[in-house]
Structure 1
Amino acid sequence: MMTPSIAYGVGGILTYNAFRNFRDFVRLYKYQKGLRRQALFKMAPNDIPVSKKYLFYGLGFRWGQKHAQRLKDTREPAASKYINPGLLYRLARRKEREWESQPYLSKLAELLNSESKFNPVRSLPPIGGEPQIHGVGGEEEPVVSLLSERNGHTLVLGTTRVGKTRAAEVLITQDIRRGDITVVFDPKGDAELMRRIIAECKASGREDDLVVFHLGFPDISARYNGIGHFSRVTEVATRTANQLDSGGNSNVFREFFWRFTNIIAQALVALGRRPDYAQLAQHIQSIDDLLIDYYEVWLNNEADPDWPRHVNEIASNLNDKMLPMSLRGKNKRANAMIKYAQDRKMFDAVAMGLRSTFEYDKTYFDKIVASGLPLLEKLISGRIAELISPAYNDADDNRPVFSWGQVIRQKKVVYIGLDALQDMAIAGTVGNTMFADLVSTAGEIYKHGTELGYHNQDTSSGSKTPINIHADEVNELMGDEFLPMLNKGGGAGLQITAYTQTMSDVIVKLGDQAKAGQALGNFGTVVIFRVKELATAELFTEQLPMVEVAAATEVTGSADSVDLDSEVDFTSSAQDRITFTEAPLLSPATIMALPKGQAFILTAGGQLWKIRVPLADSKDDLYMTSNFNEMADDMASSYRTGETWWVE
């Protein structure tokens, strides 16, 4: 009963309203589905976005008051039908278990568990947690941060097998493809992580930039001398002695060990020899040969040319009965050289240090260096000695020897497998030594950037080459060397991404809660996956503000009429009251209920994001085949988590 013109207009309006209602229905359906189920998020390495300005973390949304409100609402009893699996799903899972071992029904059980999108009762992804934590966000977008934020360092927290290493793969892939210097410390040895690094170097044309150092596979490992490069010779003793216990009376013995190590290092450097652990172990047990070599060079420069004849005469006339008890039975030529220099009142600081060490009683000397000798013996035992005390003059050894200065100048990609599952003490020592060496190199960069740290040797821009350091299971590598790297490394371009499980791991390793707080306070960006320690979750949530959330309350009541003459026997009322209360933007319980592969990120001075980290989809990745497959398979077969601090 309308004219055509009006009918068309009304029809258009109704069609538009129908479209809007249908769009709202689709959004609501997706939202409710997301509260119950989260699909696995996989991304091929080639699809990971790489930018010169931004760092990609995954897909997610900015978390705010709205999401805190929605998450609270999903935990109301009335919302359980939107959260818990339905009747058909529960029936399918029950029948799947019942039919699994029956001959004719097992095929039907497989169909019930099929991952096809046409299967309405397919199993939920094996990621655990509460899917509604991410489901309350609705639409997702790529979550990125400015690369400039990385200069403030990044901390990634999460319990075992929740996605920390996969997150590391995503970040490392971008660093390699961006062409940055990339260093990966992997104490336990993750096969997939190592394969990914090798594959990304091939895919980005940086295969020649790859350096693999692995204590468990010396035949294919590069070599590294942790005490062979330094700005001051005292660094040799510091890096070595810092591996010893410094608590209580142990500090005295550590200082003795530092002194003797420093004397040996100074003598080696003066003789033109590069210090290494093998030489330290050799000379700290017997200083005679080093003393003779140094005195020969010193006397050749300072004494008269006829000094060898005088020393030989002194040696031939020496009688043990004429010597102090501590010198009896020791090398006669060394004794003669010392007496020759004493008689002529010759002085040299290094010579005096060698002499004082030589004159110690052997039994007493062994006691005061007893804490350090086991450490050195571990470092020079077996084939590990070939890797950390390289023979530079061995022309038959083709394994490369690398240093941090070389890595930085040539923009290398370094994978460091410390094989902590075999020997945690050696892994920690080598890792700490590498950190100390890296700090020293960073100091050189800070002072002499034109040689080591600036793009194209150009200092006009003042921007240093980023050095991206990824330290998995960082609690096993932390020491006194790690703190200055966090505090001052940013000025030299160091950008540290540290991965660990709990705050307690850091406290146990550093041995002091104040030191642990000092270390953790140096991270500008924090990424937290599911954790099982309340203190670790609170470390994150206490940085967030409180917000106002609404609560709806239904109030009903009735009252009898007291007026007997009234026609009203009773009155009733029904009210809906909305009250606002203060609640945390994010609670520790929410973090402890995160599904695998999901995390919160706090970055850029307080911006909170909820993300899903993409799992690696490598089925069509041609570059994943490598010459290191044997090593990777061996690593994978012996893989365990790093939760072994209690063994120490």
Structure 2
Amino acid sequence: MASTYTIETLLRPAVELYTAEVCFTVAALCVFAPWTLALTPLFGLVAALGFLALGSMRLKQALLVLRYRRNIRRLPHYTMTSKDMPVSNERLFIGKGFRWTQKHTQRLMDTYLPKFAPYVEPTPLYQHARRLEARLEFAPFPLNLLAKATAWDVPLNPARPLPPVGGLPRIHGIEPSEHDVSLPLGERVGHSLVLGTTRVGKTRLAELFITQDIRRKRGGQHEVVIVFDPKGDADLLKRMYVECKRAGRLDEFYVFHLGWPDHSARYNAVGRFGRISEVATRVAGQLSGEGNSAAFREFAWRFVNIIARALVALGRRPDYEQILKHVINIDALFVEYAQKYFAEHDPKAWESIVAIEGKIDRKTLSFAMKDRPLRVVAIDMYLTQQRISDPVIDGLRSAVRYDKTYFDKIVASLLPLLEKLTTGRIAELLSPNYQDLEDPRPIFDWMQVIRKRAVVYIGLDALSDTEVAAAVGNSMFSDLVSVAGHIYKFGIDDGLPGAGSGKVAINVHADEFNELMGEEFIPMINKGGGAGMQVTAYTQTMSDIEAKIGRRAKAGQVIGNFNNLFMLRVRETATAELLTNQLPKVQVFTSTPASSANDSVNGKTAFTSNTHDQIQSVSVPMIEPAHVVGLPKGQCFALIEGGNLWKIRMPLPASDPGEVMPKDLQALADSMRKGQAANTDWWQAPGYQALNESLPADLVNDFRNMASGEQAA
């Protein structure tokens, strides 16, 4: 075989078949007609064995060449059902592939040489068949049968169409001997970054990882799985439900979706905290801190912190609705807390406050206090007279002493954020009513999820409202960072009887994470590994991260915290260079034909000639950005395990009739696929029936007819 030489040549006719054919023919003669070769029957059998061995060896070599030529044009199908997916307690299965070495760079470069084009490019028959199908697309019967015959995807069809994955099959076909590729679970704590443009297999890779994370069971316990899905992928939701059912984890499965509040669980992003100041950090952390906005952000943090401390002191759990309510009107909270404080420390204070209130002349008040209720002014005066000092009441006093107009300007950046999180039915999900025992929708928080080893699907409906999706995603990330810090210090069972300091693997999958990330994402990937966080982030390009954060250095800081890189097809050269620039250069060999002719000095020979091939080595990158751009769908380069480069293709999903969802989630998934609104009866908002009763009947009918017409359109 040519593989033993400097330059390997597999793109050529399989000449070994001729040797194999001769060997098998002679072996047959040795057995059935040894006299034709002047052999006795006994020596004929011995010779036949020798010829069979030589023929088998040459046939194996020929099959290798034929398989290599086939893979260069078309890879074999690779499908797998979910239940057949291998699940290991030591490794994470990725797909089939091979480790990329200098040999593969050499083979890939050879495929671009003109002399090998007949073995690489589509055959003339294939090209004619595709042109014929285009011409006969709208042809009448029976001409259209010819187009259907050429488009029939079966091995017997000589003009069989290629699978609709695009790209260059040669990138993976250069290695016929592929095998299962997996990542040691110990490497996942270093976090993984998946880059690829739209519709090239990122979600499929996510399904592959999530399926194994849900079904994995180490030490007798499952792992935590949290999936952020901004756009809302119905197939991903279905996959998570089916795998939870298969693993017996339906009781631990939560679905949170902003677009379908009727089917969604509820979540309070600021309801659980280790320190009260975390509430203000989670809210104000989503505001811009660049330039002049930094001062407004700091004031918003202080003001939210004042409100949160007062709510906790009153025995209430903070939520976005209460914070918004008191940001708009801090006076009511000031009076309510004063009532509680005086009831505990100075029961007779109200007699003095009422007396002060009756003597107040607004003309003598300061400009900032003229528009405040008299009761607020009286309480402030009493506190001044008695020199009462309490941290919470002092903070509330400083807030009510601001001029109302000036105060509204300072919190102008805070109000839009809070309104995004409390508008419409989103308020039901993010500010749950803990006292409503008739609401069947569960309420969860991250510590509860981690302790239960639960599975959570977060659908943020970013296609409908990007701003709200980003705000909710940011708040969840911020809350998750806070919980990770608590787990790092005290473990997951802190505060429980017999609590230990153990940790559990927390698998966080963030699709389109550039839409959700903020400053709080950096400490999650930088320090979250100590709490068991294993983040797998999916996005399109490096520019998406940079555009979201706003600074190239910050984007580099984020990317630098991912130890494992999976690069699918991308369209941005800078993104492809994130992989290619980390790879070494290798030496490849080129063959240059050379010939010469010389006149002969003696009279016997007219001239002499010489022909030979010169082999030279050239240093080239292991792969080029163009190779990343040319990847077919469902394939990737993976830089894992300390910089080892692997070429991998993921299995295509095979249909499984046993995967059935309940009716409510099936309806939700169908609506997600259609891209419809959360509730097709969107006009039937709360209070709609009461509105009908107050409107004339003809107007109500006209309104219904109009809505029906819009649906039909």
Contact 2:238 2:661 in 1 (8 A): yes
Deviations 1:543-572 (CA, angstroms, capped at 9, x unpaired):
1111111111111122445x5x63433332
Deviation at 1:98, TM superposition (A): 2.6
Contact 2:491 2:500 in 1 (8 A): no
Aligned: 1:411 with 2:448: no
Contact 1:453 1:492 in 2 (8 A): no
Aligned: 1:91 with 2:132: no
Aligned: 1:258 with 2:298: no
Aligned: 1:491 with 2:533: no
Structure 1 residues 471 and 108, CA gap change in structure 2 (3 angstroms): same
Q: Secondary structure of 1:248's match?
A: coil
One-letter identity of the residue aligned with 1:169: E
Pairing partner for 2:156 from 108, 118, 121 = 118
514-523 vs 626-635, which deviates more? 626-635
Pairing partner for 2:177 from 126, 134, 139 = 139
Aligned: 1:526 with 2:565: yes
Contact 2:230 2:462 in 1 (8 A): yes
Where in structure 2 are the equivalents of 1:328-477 lying within 5 Å? 328-449=370-491, 451=493, 464-477=503-516
Unaligned regions of 5+ residues in structure 2, if any? 1-37, 217-221, 677-713
Pairing partner for 1:203 from 246, 252, 258 = 246
Deviation at 1:246, TM superposition (A): 1.7
Aligned: 1:275 with 2:318: yes
Contact 2:451 2:492 in 1 (8 A): no
Give the Cα–Cα distance (whole angstroms) in 1 for the partners of residues 108 and 373 of structure 2. 79
CA RMSD, 1 decimal: 1.7
Pairing partner for 2:114 from 64, 68, 77 = 77
Number of the residue aligned with 1:162:
200
Deviations 1:20-53 (CA, angstroms, capped at 9, x unpaired):
1112222221111000012442211011101111
Pairing partner for 1:301 from 344, 347, 358 = 344
Where in structure 2 are the equivalents of 1:179-328 lying within 5 Å? 179-303=222-346, 305-328=347-370
Give the Cα–Cα distance (whole angstroms) in 1 for the partners of residues 500 and 389 of structure 2. 46
Pairing partner for 1:540 from 576, 579, 582 = 579
Q: Per chain length, whose mean CA-contact separation is higher, i.e. which structure has more relative contact order (CA < 8 Å, sep 6+)?
A: 1
Deviations 1:511-557 (CA, angstroms, capped at 9, x unpaired):
11111111101111100100110111111111111111111111112
Deviation at 1:265, TM superposition (A): 0.9
Pairing partner for 1:151 from 189, 213, 220 = 189
Contact 2:214 2:247 in 1 (8 A): yes
Aligned: 1:43 with 2:43: no
Give the Cα–Cα distance (whole angstroms) in 1 for the partners of residues 659 and 519 of structure 2. 42
Number of the residue aligned with 1:105:
143
Contact 1:177 1:204 in 2 (8 A): yes
Pairing partner for 2:593 from 554, 558, 564 = 554
One-letter identity of the residue aligned with 2:552: Q
Deviations 1:277-325 (CA, angstroms, capped at 9, x unpaired):
111111111111100111122222332x311211111112222123212
Give the Cα–Cα distance (whole angstroms) in 2 for the partners of residues 368 and 329 of structure 1. 18
Contact 2:506 2:534 in 1 (8 A): yes
Q: Secondary structure of 1:220's match?
A: coil
32-41 vs 57-66, which deviates more? 32-41
Structure 1 residues 265 and 453, CA gap change in structure 2 (3 angstroms): closer
Deviation at 1:5, TM superposition (A): 3.3
Give the Cα–Cα distance (whole angstroms) in 2 for the partners of residues 17 and 543 of structure 1. 45
Deviation at 1:453, TM superposition (A): 12
Deviation at 1:392, TM superposition (A): 1.2
Greater Rg over alpha carbons, structure: 2
Deviation at 1:95, TM superposition (A): 2.2
Number of the residue aligned with 1:642:
none
Pairing partner for 2:64 from 12, 22, 27 = 27
Deviation at 1:573, TM superposition (A): 1.5
Give the Cα–Cα distance (whole angstroms) in 1 for the partners of residues 663 and 101 of structure 2. 45
Give the Cα–Cα distance (whole angstroms) in 2 for the partners of residues 34 and 612 of structure 1. 13
Deviation at 1:120, TM superposition (A): 2.1
Give the Cα–Cα distance (whole angstroms) in 2 for the partners of residues 62 and 75 of structure 1. 21
Contact 2:447 2:492 in 1 (8 A): no
Deviation at 1:100, TM superposition (A): 3.0
TM-score normalised by the chain length of structure 1: 0.95
Structure 1 residues 6 and 452, CA gap change in structure 2 (3 angstroms): farther
Give the Cα–Cα distance (whole angstroms) in 1 for the partners of residues 135 and 345 of structure 2. 93
Contact 2:494 2:500 in 1 (8 A): no
81-90 vs 490-499, which deviates more? 81-90
One-letter identity of the residue aligned with 2:178: E
Contact 1:199 1:626 in 2 (8 A): no
Q: Secondary structure of 2:92's match?
A: strand
Number of the residue aligned with 2:48:
11
4+ residue runs of structure 1 moved beyond 4 angstroms?
A: 456-459
Deviations 1:425-473 (CA, angstroms, capped at 9, x unpaired):
111111011011001101111111161699x9665xx6x3100000000
Deviation at 1:624, TM superposition (A): 4.9
128-137 vs 105-114, which deviates more? 105-114
Number of the residue aligned with 1:60:
97
Deviation at 1:2, TM superposition (A): 2.4
Number of the residue aligned with 2:681:
none
Give the Cα–Cα distance (whole angstroms) in 1 for the partners of residues 227 and 516 of structure 2. 12
Q: Secondary structure of 2:148's match?
A: helix
Deviation at 1:19, TM superposition (A): 1.0
Deviations 1:83-115 (CA, angstroms, capped at 9, x unpaired):
111122222222222333222111221121111
One-letter identity of the residue aligned with 1:513: R
Unaligned regions of 5+ residues in structure 1, if any? 640-648
Give the Cα–Cα distance (whole angstroms) in 2 for the partners of residues 423 and 295 of structure 1. 40
Give the Cα–Cα distance (whole angstroms) in 2 for the partners of residues 220 and 620 of structure 1. 25
Contact 1:114 1:122 in 2 (8 A): yes
Contact 1:185 1:415 in 2 (8 A): yes
Contact 1:200 1:623 in 2 (8 A): no
Q: Secondary structure of 1:623's match?
A: coil
Contact 2:493 2:500 in 1 (8 A): no
Number of the residue aligned with 1:590:
627
Contact 1:198 1:626 in 2 (8 A): no
Contact 1:287 1:358 in 2 (8 A): yes
